């Protein structure tokens, strides 16, 4: 006979050491006498001893099952688990797939019970505020789990309430989190009923109000929230009265005659609802400025610039680093190039409308530099409604797409800019496609750049002529 | 929290409770860390159950129950005499954080009556979500009820902060919508669903966060004369065309301050239950709307038995099914066998021929399955599947509470 004494609660380490020793001794399950309830060794380091055998290799699913089942309060849990380990080690590696095997079936039920207990503790535990000597916020809770799951629930509460200071007391152990470290403590006694702030009262009102008396079904409620949990959930105090009064409330609703509205129809307000679209460019721009960038990071939205009714509207890609800081379009290096090219083509920058397909700067930070990132097709589409509404207010004779992003925004398809540069019909607008001025900045060869610059200026002249031609 | 705020909470929770959706699942894992608050884990938690058997997972409230719309089925329509109240953005934020810190909720479900304009209302709701996320580092779940009449840019802003967006279709057909909800328009609602779906797909592809838990909708059952078949056809379209995660069915419930246009007597709650079962068959069990509807009569599901059993009773020639041989698709069609039981059967039968006592450990619905299956030691004798009284033998008298 091999007597094994494990500690009170979920003694996973003790069980693991025992399994190694028993496996090394090839001890059959019937030769082992398990007992749990040895006094807990708080603080005592129970490390490996030379008498332990080598680690036992088990399928992952078996390891996971053991971790849960050791939490169960069934005194037979260790004996059942060792029976499983023994069979797995003796030729039945895939035992856990045999869900119909009586041992597997029983262990699965234990596993399920522990998981349910953990889930219910996550769900039904209620924190209340407690006085804090340092004047901060402190929270405490009392809960009575069926199984030894206090350690198992800790990660959930730490993750969710990492920024709070809290204590959880249970008859099976306690937890304390001080925003830095988690401390486990001994079993606790039920504390005196707490005097909570008014949130508990507010929560009860919410609970009562969200209940629909026409659907009363206490059995369904109790199946999911058995009575044993009610004692520690303040809102459940309302349950008896809610159930009692439900039939009368429903009867009253069914008997009540449809009432004549006390207030007259707010005709003006109903009519005004339809006029919610921005009425002018200023209102639209204010919407754009209030909105969050789709990709976080930008300092501000950069809206268009130039007179309404301008003959030509130029649409670029998105604001760059300078534009993002200054809040104006085309003021960075590419913008300066555009300004120069416009002058060369005989176009007054102040007489045209300048804007971007995307209104926020998107970048990655590299050290101190913010490196421009092209917007994705989805992002371009997201900003499209604004762009089209904006052009609707400006009403230019010709819309010039500078580069592929603008062309995509205005046509809804990917346009190979160098091949298709020139006049093009946009969705509802006479359009023209040419390169973005930043294209010129990226060309390495001086000769190539000069040629591209000349082509760009020629495009601008052509666009200006087109816009004039339609005057 | 003072008396006035508690009073408002009562009014605006009462006004929001007819929305059936409550799920807090499907969100990408997120945590608030030391500076923020909260976490989402992917599967939601029900923090309490009310005596109607429904779960309390999110703080489900309206920003206001003032409304310019006049939808007859709605307690908050402009012609209703219900008490009105209105939260400020700050108040909703304070309530959400307060209840969340006490572990009462997974997050917020915010809806609203339409005040001033759809855009104005949507912007206020979006501001609640933005304040929670940006100013408080709130990492809990946020579900925003989207107003389809709001401008596209606002719906898209809302999607940046919410875990789930939903747009209620409410009525399955355009003509019911016209009759019962004069300010609404089926085309507008579907266009908004289409827009949200498109943005969700793009964001997923481009690895941006946009309503990561998808979108859902609600259909009210029993307020108009739509059949179960047409309700399910609508759902089928919504799942396929708009990529919806969930369609919720809400049996039209008697409301205080009811309109005279509505039926006085509500539909049996069982109808809603059967629709949910049918919806499940549609999504996870490989059934078509046509097959499900064929189990009932005149386009209505059988209220007495579940739709899978109803289908099996009308297709008896396909049974009994051998649990040791049949493929997954056919096993899923056996009444009483759920998807989980089927998977356990498939894995267990690789190791041994399954007998009835094995099946009893694998499935909890074996009583209903018996006439429809064959096991190593069992064959339904005497042509059990052919017996005319099979239906009666399988149905236990309903124990549902009746209030009428």
What's the pLDDT tens digit per position in B22-74?
788 878 888 999 999 999 988 889 999 999 999 999 999 999 999 999 998 88
What residues in A contact B16, CB-CB < 8 Å?
210
Q: What is the mean pLDDT of residues A93-120?
A: 95
Confidence band for B384, pLDDT divided at 50, 70 and 90: low
Q: Is A302 helix (H, G, I), strand (E, B) or coil?
A: coil
More confident position, A311 or A191: A311
Residue A268 burial by Cβ neighbours in a 10 Å radius (0-12, 13-18, 19+): exposed
With CB atoms and an 8 Å threshold, state whether A378 touches B350. no
Give the residue numbers spanning the domain of A11.
Answer: 2-41+49-120
Asked whether the beta carbons of B83 and A160 are under 8 A apart, the reply is no
Judged against a pLDDT cut of 60, whether residue A41 lies above it is answered with: no
Residue A82, H or E segment? helix A77-89
With CB atoms and an 8 Å threshold, state whether A99 touches B348. yes
Instruction: Check which CATH number belongs to the domain holding A364 and give it.
Output: 3.40.470.10
Chain B nearest CA to A376, separation (Å): 7
d(CA B165, CA B317): 44
Q: Which of A58-62, B88-92, B104-108, B176-180 has the lowest mean pLDDT?
A: B176-180
Nearest CB among B79, B255, B259 relative to A253 is that of: B255
Q: Is residue A274 part of a domain?
A: no
Chain A nearest CA to B326, separation (Å): 18
Could you tell me if B2 lies within 8 Å of chain A, comparing CB atoms?
Answer: yes
Most confidently modeled of A423-427, B69-73, B137-141, B146-150? B137-141
- Which alpha helices (H) appear in B206-338, and where do they start and end? 228-242, 269-284, 289-294, 307-314, 328-331
- Residues A325, A429 within the same domain: yes
Q: Which sign does the torsion angle of CA B395, B397, B399, B403 carry?
A: positive
Mind listing the pLDDT tens digit for each residue in A232-253?
Answer: 898 999 999 999 999 999 888 8
pLDDT for position B382: 59
Could you tell me if B402 lies within 8 Å of chain A, comparing CB atoms?
Answer: no
- How many CB atoms are closer than 10 A to CB B23? 24
d(CA B28, CA B41): 7
d(CA B23, CA B55): 9
What residues in A contact B99, CB-CB < 8 Å?
199, 202-203, 206
DSSP B85-105: -B--HHHHHHHHHHHHHTT--
pLDDT for position B385: 57
With CB atoms and an 8 Å threshold, state whether A202 touches B38. no
Q: What is the mean pLDDT of chain A?
A: 91
pLDDT for position B212: 87
User: How many percent of chain A have pLDDT more than 90?
Assistant: 79
With CB atoms and an 8 Å threshold, state whether B258 touches A272. no
The full length of chain B comes to 404
- Residues A314, A435 within the same domain: yes
Nearest CB among A128, A236, A376 relative to B206 is that of: A376
User: Which of 137-166 (B) contact A at CB < 8 A?
Assistant: 137, 151-153, 156-157, 160
Chain A nearest CA to B367, separation (Å): 17
What residues in A contact B56, CB-CB < 8 Å?
207, 210
Q: Is residue A375 part of a domain?
A: yes
Judged against a pLDDT cut of 70, whether residue A46 lies above it is answered with: no
pLDDT for position B326: 95
Q: Is residue A7 part of a domain?
A: yes
With CB atoms and an 8 Å threshold, state whether B347 touches A97. yes
Token pair in block for residue A216: 């009363």
Looking at residue A235, the DSSP 8-state letter turns out to be: G
Confidence band for B386, pLDDT divided at 50, 70 and 90: low
Residue A297 burial by Cβ neighbours in a 10 Å radius (0-12, 13-18, 19+): middle
Q: Is residue A264 part of a domain?
A: no
Chain B nearest CA to A5, separation (Å): 32
Token pair in block for residue B257: 């301050």
What residues in A contact B137, CB-CB < 8 Å?
163
- Residues A460, A320 within the same domain: yes
Token pair in block for residue B54: 């429904």
- Residues A230, A296 within the same domain: no
- Residues A96, A11 within the same domain: yes
d(CA B98, CA A92): 52
- Which alpha helices (H) appear in A263-304, and where do they start and end? 267-273, 281-290
- Residues A62, A174 within the same domain: no
Nearest CB among A210, A252, A262 relative to B60 is that of: A210
Mind listing the pLDDT tens digit for each residue in B278-301?
Answer: 999 999 999 999 999 999 999 999
State the architecture of B3-33+47-265 in CATH terms: Alpha-Beta Barrel (3.20)
Mind listing the pLDDT tens digit for each residue in A196-235?
Answer: 678 999 999 999 999 999 889 999 999 999 999 999 898 9
What residues in B contact A123, CB-CB < 8 Å?
45-48
What residues in B contact A209, CB-CB < 8 Å?
9-11, 13-14, 17
Give, rounded to a whole angstrom, the gap between the first and last alpha carbons of chain B.
39
Nearest CB among B130, B202, B256 relative to A292 is that of: B130
Distances in Å between the alpha carbon of A429 and those of A359, A391, A426?
20, 9, 5
- Residues A301, A379 within the same domain: yes
Q: What is the mean pLDDT of residues B194-204?
A: 89
Asked whether the beta carbons of B144 and B44 are under 8 A apart, the reply is no
Pairing state between β A182-185 and A173-177:
antiparallel
Q: Is residue A193 part of a domain?
A: no
Phi/psi at A391 (nearest 5 deg)? -60, -30
Judged against a pLDDT cut of 90, whether residue A296 lies above it is answered with: no
Chain B nearest CA to A405, separation (Å): 16
d(CA A299, CA B249): 44
Among B31, B36, B102, pick the best mutation site for testing chain A contact (most A Cβ within 10 A).
B102
- Residues A294, A370 within the same domain: yes
Q: Could you tell me how far CA A74 lies from the centroid of its own chain?
A: 38
Among B9, B50, B192, pick the best mutation site for testing chain A contact (most A Cβ within 10 A).
B50
With CB atoms and an 8 Å threshold, state whether B102 touches A179. no
Burial A53-78 (b: 16+ CB within 10 A, else e): eeebebeeebeebbbbbbbbbeeebb
- Residues A306, A454 within the same domain: yes
What residues in B contact A128, CB-CB < 8 Å?
102
Q: Is residue A272 part of a domain?
A: no
Query: How many domains, in total, are found in chain A?
Result: 4
Give the CA count within 13 Å in the CB-facing half-sphere of B366. 16
Q: Is B379 helix (H, G, I), strand (E, B) or coil?
A: coil
Mind listing the pLDDT tens digit for each residue in A124-173?
Answer: 999 999 988 888 889 999 999 999 999 999 999 999 999 999 999 999 99
Judged against a pLDDT cut of 50, whether residue A77 lies above it is answered with: yes
pLDDT for position A48: 46
Instruction: Give every CB contact of residue B393 below 8 A, 6+ residues apart in sequence.
Output: B387
Chain B nearest CA to A347, separation (Å): 34
Chain B nearest CA to A242, separation (Å): 7
Could you tell me if B38 lies within 8 Å of chain A, comparing CB atoms?
Answer: yes
Q: Which of A120-124, A378-382, B341-345 has the lowest mean pLDDT?
A: A378-382
User: Cα torsion for A36, A41, A45, A50, to the nearest 10°?
Assistant: -40
Nearest-Å Rg of the Cα atoms of chain B is 23
d(CA A339, CA A350): 10
With CB atoms and an 8 Å threshold, state whether A270 touches B68. yes
Phi/psi at B66 (nearest 5 deg)? -65, 140
Asked whether the beta carbons of B36 and B139 are under 8 A apart, the reply is yes
What residues in B contact A160, CB-CB < 8 Å?
31, 38-39, 103
Size of interface A-B (CB pairs under 8 A): 254
Nearest CB among A156, A205, A256 relative to B10 is that of: A205
- For helices B152-161 and B186-205, give the axis angle rounded to 10 degrees: 50
Q: Which long-range contacts (CB under 8 A, 24 or more apart) does A266-270 make?
A: A266/B68, A266/B78, A269/B68, A269/B116, A270/B68, A270/B78, A270/B183
With CB atoms and an 8 Å threshold, state whether B56 touches A242. no
d(CA A54, CA A288): 66
- Residues A95, A153 within the same domain: no
Residue B261 burial by Cβ neighbours in a 10 Å radius (0-12, 13-18, 19+): exposed
pLDDT for position B399: 42
With CB atoms and an 8 Å threshold, state whether A209 touches B98. no
Nearest CB among B47, B81, B203 relative to A123 is that of: B47
What residues in A contact B202, CB-CB < 8 Å?
376-378, 381
pLDDT for position A38: 65
- Residues A156, A205 within the same domain: no
Q: Is residue A351 part of a domain?
A: yes
Nearest CB among B79, B351, B401 relative to A98 is that of: B351
Looking at residue A95, the DSSP 8-state letter turns out to be: G
Pairing state between β B48-49 and B55-56:
antiparallel
d(CA B74, CA A213): 17
Distances in Å between the alpha carbon of A140 and those of A130, A169, A227, A331, B18?
7, 8, 22, 57, 34
Q: Is residue A361 part of a domain?
A: yes
Chain B nearest CA to A210, separation (Å): 5
With CB atoms and an 8 Å threshold, state whether B269 touches A215. yes
Residue B144, H or E segment? strand B141-145
Domain map of chain B by residue range?
Answer: 3-33+47-265, 268-314, 319-393
Q: Is A131 helix (H, G, I), strand (E, B) or coil?
A: coil
d(CA B308, CA B277): 8
Token pair in block for residue A63: 């390891």
Judged against a pLDDT cut of 60, whether residue B367 lies above it is answered with: yes
Token pair in block for residue B403: 């209030």
Search chain A and give the residue with CA nearest B263.
Answer: A254
Asked whether the beta carbons of A166 and B140 are under 8 A apart, the reply is no
């Amino acid at each position: 006979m091999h007597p094994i004494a494990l500690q009170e609660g979920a003694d996973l380490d003790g069980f693991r050491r025992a399994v190694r020793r028993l496996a090394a001794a090839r001890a059959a399950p019937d030769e082992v006498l398990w007992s749990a309830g040895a006094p807990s060794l708080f603080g005592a380091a129970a490390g490996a001893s030379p008498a332990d055998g080598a680690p036992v290799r088990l399928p992952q699913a078996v390891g996971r099952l053991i971790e849960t089942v050791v939490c169960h309060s069934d005194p037979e849990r260790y004996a059942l688990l060792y029976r499983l380990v023994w069979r797995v080690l003796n030729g039945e590696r895939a035992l856990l797939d045999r869900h119909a095997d009586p041992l597997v079936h029983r262990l699965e039920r234990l596993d399920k019970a522990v998981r349910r207990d953990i889930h219910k503790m996550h769900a039904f535990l209620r924190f209340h505020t407690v006085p804090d000597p340092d004047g901060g916020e402190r929270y405490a809770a009392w809960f009575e789990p069926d199984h030894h799951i206090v350690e198992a629930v800790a990660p959930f509460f730490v993750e969710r309430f990492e920024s709070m200071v809290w204590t959880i007391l249970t008859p099976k152990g306690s937890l304390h989190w001080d925003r830095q470290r988690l401390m486990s403590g001994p079993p606790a006694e039920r504390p005196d009923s707490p005097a909570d702030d008014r949130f508990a009262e507010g929560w009860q009102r919410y609970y009562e109000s969200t209940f629909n008396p026409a659907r009363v079904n206490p059995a369904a409620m109790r199946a999911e929230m058995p009575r044993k949990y009610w004692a520690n959930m303040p809102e459940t105090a309302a349950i008896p009265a809610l159930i009692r009064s439900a039939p009368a409330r429903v009867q009253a609703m069914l008997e009540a005659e449809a009432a004549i509205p006390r207030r007259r129809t707010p005709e003006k307000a109903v009519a005004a609802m339809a006029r919610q679209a921005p009425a002018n460019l200023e209102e639209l721009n204010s919407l754009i400025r209030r909105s969050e960038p789709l990709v976080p990071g930008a300092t501000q939205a950069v809206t268009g610039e130039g007179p309404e009714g301008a003959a030509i509207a130029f649409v670029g890609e998105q604001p760059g680093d300078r534009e993002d800081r200054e809040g104006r379009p085309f003021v960075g290096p590419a913008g300066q190039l555009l300004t120069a090219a416009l002058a060369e083509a005989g176009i007054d920058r102040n007489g045209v409308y300048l804007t971007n397909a995307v209104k926020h700067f998107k970048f990655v930070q590299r050290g101190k530099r913010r490196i421009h990132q092209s917007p994705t097709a989805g992002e371009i589409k997201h900003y499209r409604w604004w762009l089209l509404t904006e052009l609707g207010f400006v009403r230019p004779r010709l819309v010039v797409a500078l580069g592929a992003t603008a062309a995509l925004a205005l046509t809804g398809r990917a346009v190979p800019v160098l091949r298709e540069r020139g006049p093009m019909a946009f969705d509802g607008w006479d359009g023209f496609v040419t390169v973005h001025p930043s294209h010129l900045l990226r060309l390495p060869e001086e000769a190539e750049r000069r040629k591209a610059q000349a082509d760009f200026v020629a495009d601008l002249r052509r666009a200006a002529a087109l816009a004039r031609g339609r005057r | 929290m003072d008396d006035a705020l508690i009073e408002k909470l009562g009014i605006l929770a009462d006004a929001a409770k007819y929305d059936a959706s409550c799920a807090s699942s499907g969100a990408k894992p997120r945590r608030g860390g030391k500076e923020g608050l909260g976490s989402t884990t992917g599967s939601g938690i029900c923090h309490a159950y009310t005596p109607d058997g429904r779960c309390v997972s999110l703080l489900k409230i309206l920003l206001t129950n003032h409304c310019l719309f006049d939808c007859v089925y709605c307690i908050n329509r402009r012609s209703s005499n219900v008490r009105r109240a209105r939260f400020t953005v700050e108040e909703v934020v304070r309530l959400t954080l307060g209840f969340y810190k006490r572990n009462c909720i997974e997050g917020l479900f915010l809806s609203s009556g339409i005040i001033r304009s759809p855009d104005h209302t949507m912007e206020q709701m979006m501001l609640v979500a933005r304040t929670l996320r940006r100013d408080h580092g709130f990492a809990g779940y946020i579900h925003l009820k989207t107003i389809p009449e709001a401008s596209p840019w606002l719906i898209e802003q809302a999607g940046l902060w919410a875990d789930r967006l939903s747009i209620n279709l409410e009525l399955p057909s355009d003509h019911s919508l016209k009759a019962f909800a004069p300010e609404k328009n089926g085309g507008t609602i579907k266009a908004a669903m289409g827009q949200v779906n498109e943005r969700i797909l793009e964001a997923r592809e481009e690895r941006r966060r946009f309503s990561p838990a998808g979108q859902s909708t609600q259909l009210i059952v029993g307020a108009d004369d739509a059949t179960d078949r047409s309700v399910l056809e609508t759902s089928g379209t919504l799942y396929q065309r708009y990529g919806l995660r969930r369609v919720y069915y809400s049996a039209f419930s008697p409301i205080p301050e009811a309109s005279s246009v509505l039926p006085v007597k509500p539909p049996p709650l069982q109808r809603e239950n059967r629709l949910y079962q049918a919806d499940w068959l549609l999504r996870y069990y490989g059934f078509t709307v046509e097959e499900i509807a064929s189990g009932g009569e005149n386009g209505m599901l059988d209220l007495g038995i579940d739709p899978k059993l109803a289908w099996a009773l009308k297709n008896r020639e396909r049974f009994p099914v051998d649990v040791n041989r049949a493929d997954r698709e056919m096993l899923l069609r056996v009444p009483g066998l759920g998807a989980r039981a089927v998977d356990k059967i498939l894995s267990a039968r690789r190791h041994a021929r399954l007998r009835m006592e094995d099946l009893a450990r694998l499935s909890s619905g074996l009583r209903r399955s018996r006439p429809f299956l064959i096991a190593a030691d069992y064959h339904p004798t005497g042509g059990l599947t052919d017996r005319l009284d099979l239906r009666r033998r399988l149905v236990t008298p309903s124990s549902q509470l009746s209030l009428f």
